Amino acid sequence: MTLERLLSENLVSTAMISGRTLLHVATDWPGGFPNSAATVAALIEHGAGVNARFTGAHTETPLHWAGRRPVP
């Protein structure tokens, strides 16, 4: 499933991958995928919650994960 499809179908706020939202995946360090800043911006613009909780071993949010990511 592509990001464009998720955005067009308004699935950004409900899509989960192993207990993580798409925004968790995009802010996960070291990440290393191209255009991560643009991806994060697009997800947030389409309703991804920066305070959505991880479901699993902890309850950290994408905002927590982004705050721990080193600046390149």
Q: Is the pTM of this model over 0.85?
A: no
Q: Which contacts (CB < 8 Å, 24+ apart) does range 60-69 have?
A: 61/24, 62/21, 62/23, 62/24, 62/26, 62/27, 63/27, 65/24, 65/27, 65/28, 65/29, 66/27, 66/40, 68/29, 69/27, 69/29, 69/31
Position 46 scores a pLDDT of 86
Q: What is the mean pLDDT of the chain?
A: 80
Position 14 scores a pLDDT of 78
Position 69 scores a pLDDT of 64
The predicted-structure confidence for 2-60, as pLDDT tens digits, reads as follows 777 777 777 777 788 888 888 888 888 676 667 888 888 888 888 888 888 888 888 88
